[in-house]
Amino acid sequence: MDTGLLIEKSVLVLIIFLISLGIAAYQTYFERKLAAWIQDRVGPDRAGPFGILQPIADGVKMFLKEDFIPKDADKWLFIIGPGIAMFTSLITSAIIPWGTDLELFGRTITLQVADFDIGILYLFAVLSISVYGIMIGGWASNNKYSLYGAIRASSQMISYELAMGISAITIIMLSGSLSLTDIVNKQHGMNWNIFYQPICFVVFFICSLAETNRAPFDLPECENELIGGYHTEYSSMKLGLYLFSEYTAMFISSAIIAILFLGGYNFPGMDNFSGNTLAVLSVIVFFIKIFIFIFIFMWIRWTIPRFRFDQLMHLGWKVLIPVAMVNLLITGIVIAINEGWFNEFM
């Protein structure tokens, strides 16, 4: 076993973990600031200059609140629920290629924790198990509103996974690989998938909104029907973990959208740079793309009203899945023609 590789990967994991948590914390601040800006208010401005210490104050508040477990709750599952939610939203970051290779101390460091040749399937595996955190937490609370929230969350996630998977298959067909590194490298320069697959992009983006339980798909925590939804009974840092996992998931899914459709760390004119300059620039470009998507996520939340639940199901099953399938079919035919499968008939 190569010790250097072990150290390098451990450091990378630690950095990604800290960055994810830091970005998730500051997303709460930017979400409030953005909401204030859209609604013509001031927003948080008490803690530090421009309220920039607000996430830290919130975190301390969360930790110091009373940690309450309801009497009839299933104690073991009640505790494990938020943990699963946080865990599943963090582990997706393992397969994300953050930038081109970096050269440090005479070693070539790949800015990616693990390069599977099944990268995108791993992503869908994590997505499909991420529903457990909400389901288990909602059920274990022994509260009907929590249970309604959990059931809504799981049926919504199962429904939108399908359309998401079909639109991802379209991208896999274009790239000819399941590895995220290959998918990114195929989009070298300005050769981004969004220009070839705009419909696929829209479907995937809507599904990501639904998968992260963001507005207008935040039915699981719809407060005027379900109080707090699946986390009604939660308090203290357990509630904090649920809220935090949503923001982490938003960050990670922005990264995934940037990889699949906006070329990840690729940018026009990247051939003019090389070595470490290119690595640093590529990471910066990647994060700019992520922040653009996070902004759009928040912008949508404060602009579009919430769906009704039957409308949500209608959109998922009767609009997004057929659109994604037709798109898949057309892409397949075009690829077959380009490969020359029909040459003998024409």
Partner 1 sequence: MSLQIISIILGSLTIASALMVVLSKHPIRSVIFLVVTFFFISSLYILMNAQFLAIVNIIVYAGAIMVLFLFVLMLLNLNKTAEPESSLMVKLSSLIAAGGLFLVIIAALKDSILLSKTYAPQNEAIGTVQSLGNLLFSKYVVPFEVSSILFIAAMVGAVLLAKREKQIID
* Dist. CA 255–CA 95, nearest whole Å: 11
Nearer to partner 1, 59 or 70 (CB): 70
Site string for partner 1, 42-81 (x = CB under 8 A): --------------------------------x-xx----
Encode 191-218: b = buried (16+ Cβ within 10 Å), e = exposed: ebbbebbeebbbbbbbbbbbbbbbbbbb
> Using CB under 8 A, which of 26, 30, 124, 291 touches partner 1?
124
CB of 312 to partner 1, least distance (A): 17
Q: Which residues pair with 104 in a beta bridge?
A: 107
CB of 202 to partner 1, least distance (A): 24
> Using CB under 8 A, which of 150, 255, 260, 281 touches partner 1?
150
Of 123-131, 182-190, 309-317, 331-339, which part binds partner 1 (CB under 8 A)?
123-131
Cα 6–chain centre separation: 27
Q: Is residue 328 within the footprint of partner 1 (CB under 8 A)?
A: no
> Using CB under 8 A, which of 135, 166, 250, 258 touches partner 1?
135
> Using CB under 8 A, which of 132, 291, 309, 317 touches partner 1?
132
* Dist. CA 227–CA 222, nearest whole Å: 7
Nearer to partner 1, 14 or 319 (CB): 319
- Region for 40 from its dihedrals, namely left if φ exceeds 0, alpha if ψ lies in -120 to 50, beta otherwise: left
CB of 91 to partner 1, least distance (A): 12
Helix axes 236-261, 131-140, angle to 10 degrees: 160
Q: Is residue 335 within the footprint of partner 1 (CB under 8 A)?
A: no
* Dist. CA 36–CA 235, nearest whole Å: 26
* Dist. CA 109–CA 296, nearest whole Å: 32
> Using CB under 8 A, which of 57, 155, 186, 325 touches partner 1?
155
Token pair 């429904």 in the structure block, residue = 159
Of 126-134, 194-202, 208-216, 284-292, which part binds partner 1 (CB under 8 A)?
126-134
Q: Is residue 125 within the footprint of partner 1 (CB under 8 A)?
A: yes
3-state secondary structure of 104: strand
Long-range contacts of 288-295, Cβ-Cβ distance < 8 Å, separation of 24 or more: 289/254, 289/258, 289/262, 289/264, 290/251, 290/254, 290/255, 290/258, 291/254, 293/254, 293/257, 293/258, 294/27, 294/30, 294/250, 294/251, 294/254, 295/34
Q: Which among 243, 313, 309, 229 is positioned nearest to 86, based on CA atoms?
A: 243
Q: Is residue 236 within the footprint of partner 1 (CB under 8 A)?
A: no
> Using CB under 8 A, which of 87, 122, 273, 317 touches partner 1?
122
User: Binders of partner 1 among 159-218, rule CB under 8 A?
Assistant: 178
Q: Is residue 147 within the footprint of partner 1 (CB under 8 A)?
A: yes
Residues near partner 1, by CB under 8 A: 74, 76-77, 116-118, 121-122, 124-125, 127-129, 131-132, 135-136, 139, 147, 150-151, 154-155, 158, 178
